[in-house]
Structure 1
Amino acid sequence: MVMELPDNRLWNVEETAYFLGVPVKTLYQWKWTGEGPPVRKVGRHLRYNPARVRAWVDSDEAAA
């Protein structure tokens, strides 16, 4: 399955997990431990800025 990932809005957990190739549960674990790409809560939902996720992937933090 190929998912279209829009850049004109924040990504939800499923879209971010798809982009990174990790399970959704991993994103929640990273949030809990303070690891992973920058995330913000909007209401009770986690949202990711696509540009910041891509920057995180390109950074040394993602390689650790």
Structure 2
Amino acid sequence: MPFTVPTNLAAIPSLSVPIGLSSNGLPIGMQLMGNHLSEKSLLSAGYAWECTDPLNGKMPEIDY
């Protein structure tokens, strides 16, 4: 939360996308930020990134 507050207050669109898994299987993400009112372009970039399959078909294990 503390890393996203400034962009939220400035009305800068941003999203987080997966970039891989750590050596112990935890997910790692990357935050993309766009210009004001660039949501469509930002979502297109995020979708294009996820289409590259950055997790190589793997999913993090979830312990319940």
Q: In proportion to residue count, which structure has more strand?
A: 2
Q: State the TM bucket, normalised to the shorter chain.
A: under 0.3
The TM-score, its normalising length taken from structure 1, stands at 0.26
The TM-score, its normalising length taken from structure 2, stands at 0.26
Q: In proportion to residue count, which structure has more helix?
A: 1
